Amino acid sequence: MRLSPDTAIAGRCSLAEPTVASSRKSSLDRDTSELPTPPYHRSAFARSIIPTHFPMTEAQRKRFAAALQRVAGDEDMLVMLASIAAEDGPPMLKQVHTHVESLELGEAARVGHALKGLLSTFESGPPVDELQPMIDAARKDDGNATQIAHASVSPKLEHLLGEIEELAESGK
């Protein structure tokens, strides 16, 4: 005996209660051996907006090995995230710089924290973790310590963003 998809969906029975199936075939009954393999199973619209493959170089795989682990080895996902970070990261870093220079420390801490979150997919150690002393100093309203920490970490973050931009470019 089989479950009727209409009955199971409507909630009139549980899967443990077998019922007589309707005469029409369920979508579960079809032969799937000739279906295309992912990612080609996506609709034409989805294929048009969702890239299907972004090649990474061996150097990028080695450089971003920990990041690849965080996305379960999905290179396409990592490159897509790199595209987002490459677009959002530089303006955020500029905002941090502007807020630190003008001693708007609350905003520097807020944007610095957001930047740390954005970049933590790619790097959880230096230089991303080096943002924390700047954020902490800004939250304590210590302008001098904030400026010193920012001056130390900013060039390293610019370098990391450059690497992320290269990764994003590999998908184009």
CATH of the domain at 67: 1.20.120
Assigned domain for 75 exists: yes
Say what the pLDDT of residue 171 is. 74
| pLDDT tens digits, one per residue of 117-151 | 999 999 989 999 999 999 999 999 999 999 999 99
Assigned domain for 8 exists: no
**Burial letters 49-62, b for 16+ CB under 10 A, else e:** eeeeebebeeebee
Q: How confident is the model at residue 43 (pLDDT cuts 50, 70, 90)?
A: low
Domain count of the chain? 1
Assigned domain for 83 exists: yes
Assigned domain for 13 exists: no
Assigned domain for 113 exists: yes
**E strand or H helix at 20:** none
Assigned domain for 11 exists: no
Q: Which structural domain, as residue segments, surrounds residue 130?
A: 58-169
Query: What is the average per-residue pLDDT within 72-95?
Result: 94
CA distance readout (Å), 84 to 21, 51, 71, 80, 143: 48, 14, 15, 7, 30
